[in-house]
């Protein structure tokens, strides 16, 4: 609202809940230390709509956007997710959920250690990118109503934030994302990178190999260990300890309170303090692998992450649709902004790396014997001779003397 304009009770409630996402003018709202579950109801009412079912395309086929994109609660509010595992597969049973958020009716046939099961078909979930190239991409046309723009809450770039992550990890958009500005077409070429670990390394202590297998580090709120899930859980625990409540997007059990706008400073201070604790703790632990950091969120021993090559061009969508779309349709209106995102694999194959033990017992003996042979003329015959002179020869000499 403009200055000196009154707001309705409903608008004040909306603004109060949204103040956890946009802090502009937070001092003008009632100072509530906690919120009830109504915050999810209000966010559900205010979430962005998925327009026009024909503008989402994946692997040559067009889909209704609401069929492939599901609602999820993240640190930036209500977002839409593609190809993510269901909340029942990610979170533990005691974690509370609201409505259909984080809900996906598809059952996953994939895990980070083994990939897809041997009997899974091409049409499986998470959906496979079967071929590389922009013609086999996920393409989304994003539509924004200009009247919904709040310029006081936005960063320098007006547009959408996109986070790329594995299906079993909960991302934090504020930490890692790329931008899709309005009136642009953005192409993101993805190059996967994978790190695996041999079974021989599993016998070592996690601190020595500097990674966790998925069943080695149980979490309180998550069924699946990932560094992202672990760091989020660590932030949840520390925020709960410092503030007595957690932020609205954090996993929680039914008895845990949701922090209100009156606890905003406490939550931000807790997040800042945790970063400093982890940083200082990491510096203290450096050089001593047997000590754990505060959060103890080492990488997975089987780790998948993505490199992104991004290109961006101006998209004169209004000129295109002026010709193609009938008069009076929504594209002819002046109160919308469009953007296009195209995501595809850069190549059909990629190289993976593997952690292996540099020297096992057999390798050590082989190298030790090789060095002895190189520098001292040592051989198996020399070893037999040494054993002979230290055992049989001494025994025979003693026996002859006694006789």
For position 319, which CATH number holds? Answer: 2.60.470.10
Are residues 283 and 375 located together in one domain of the fold?
Answer: no
pTM of the model: 0.83
Query: Which residue, 300, 293, 146, 156, is CA-closest to 217?
Result: 300
Number of domains in the chain: 2
Residue 299 lies in a domain: yes
Are residues 140 and 187 located together in one domain of the fold?
Answer: yes
Residue 298 lies in a domain: yes
Residue 123 lies in a domain: yes
Provide the pLDDT for residue 385. 75
pLDDT digits (tens, 9 = 90+) for 157-212: 788 999 999 999 999 998 989 999 999 999 999 999 999 998 888 888 888 888 99
In Å, how far are 50, 73, 387 from 234, measured between CA atoms? 33, 18, 59
Residue 361 lies in a domain: no
Are residues 183 and 324 located together in one domain of the fold?
Answer: yes
Region of 328 please: left (phi>0), alpha (psi -120 to 50) or beta.
left
Can you list the residues of the chain whose pLDDT is less than 70?
1-5, 25-27, 49-54, 154-156, 285-293, 324-334, 359-380, 403
Are residues 23 and 171 located together in one domain of the fold?
Answer: yes
Provide the pLDDT for residue 53. 39
State which residues form the domain around 302.
Answer: 9-355
Provide the pLDDT for residue 317. 85
Are residues 259 and 377 located together in one domain of the fold?
Answer: no
Provide the pLDDT for residue 119. 82
Residue 1 lies in a domain: no
Task: Compute the distance between CA of residue 104 and CA of residue 330 in angstroms, rounded to an integer.
Answer: 30
Residue 3 lies in a domain: no
Are residues 137 and 263 located together in one domain of the fold?
Answer: yes
Are residues 314 and 250 located together in one domain of the fold?
Answer: yes
Are residues 199 and 296 located together in one domain of the fold?
Answer: yes
55-59 long-range Cβ contacts below 8 angstroms, 24+ apart: 55/140, 55/141, 55/143, 56/139, 56/140, 56/141, 57/137, 57/138, 57/139, 57/140, 58/127, 58/137, 58/138, 58/139, 59/127, 59/129, 59/130, 59/131, 59/136, 59/138
């Amino acid at each position: 609202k403009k200055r000196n304009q009154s707001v309705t009770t409903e608008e004040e409630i909306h603004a109060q809940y949204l103040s956890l996402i946009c802090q502009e003018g937070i001092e003008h709202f009632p100072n509530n230390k906690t919120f009830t579950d109504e915050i999810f109801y209000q966010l559900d009412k205010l979430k962005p709509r998925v327009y026009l079912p024909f503008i989402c395309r994946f692997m040559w086929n067009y889909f209704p956007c609401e069929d492939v994109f599901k609602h999820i609660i993240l640190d930036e509010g209500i977002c839409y997710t593609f190809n993510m595992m269901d909340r029942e597969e990610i979170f533990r049973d005691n974690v509370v959920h609201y409505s259909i958020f984080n809900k996906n009716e598809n059952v996953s046939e994939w895990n980070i250690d083994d990939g897809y099961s041997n009997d899974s078909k091409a049409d499986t979930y998470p959906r496979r990118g079967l071929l590389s190239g922009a013609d086999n991409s996920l393409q989304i046309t994003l539509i924004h109503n200009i009247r919904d723009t709040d310029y006081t809450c936005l960063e320098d770039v007006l547009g959408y934030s996109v986070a790329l992550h594995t299906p079993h990890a909960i991302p934090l958009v504020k930490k890692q994302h790329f931008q899709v500005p309005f009136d642009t077409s953005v192409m993101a070429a993805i190059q996967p990178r994978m790190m695996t670990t041999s079974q021989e390394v599993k016998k070592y202590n996690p601190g020595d190999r500097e990674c966790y297998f998925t069943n080695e580090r149980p979490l309180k709120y998550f069924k699946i260990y990932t560094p992202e899930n672990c760091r989020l859980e660590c932030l949840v625990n520390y925020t709960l300890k410092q503030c007595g409540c957690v932020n609205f997007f954090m996993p929680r059990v039914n008895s845990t309170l949701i922090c209100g706008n009156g606890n905003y400073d406490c939550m931000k201070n807790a997040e800042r303090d945790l970063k400093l604790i982890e940083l200082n703790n990491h510096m203290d632990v450096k050089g001593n692998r047997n000590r754990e950091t505060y959060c103890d969120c080492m990488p997975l021993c089987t780790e998948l992450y993505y490199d992104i090559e991004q290109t961006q061009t101006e998209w004169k969508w209004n000129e295109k649709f002026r010709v193609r779309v009938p008069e009076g349709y929504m594209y002819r209106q002046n109160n919308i902004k469009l953007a296009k995102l195209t995501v595809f694999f850069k190549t059909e194959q990629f190289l993976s790396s593997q952690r292996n033990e540099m020297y096992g017992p057999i390798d050590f003996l082989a190298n030790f014997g090789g060095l002895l042979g190189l520098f001292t003329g040592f051989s198996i015959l020399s070893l037999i001779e040494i054993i002979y002179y230290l055992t049989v020869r001494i025994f025979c000499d003693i026996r002859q003397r006694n006789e």
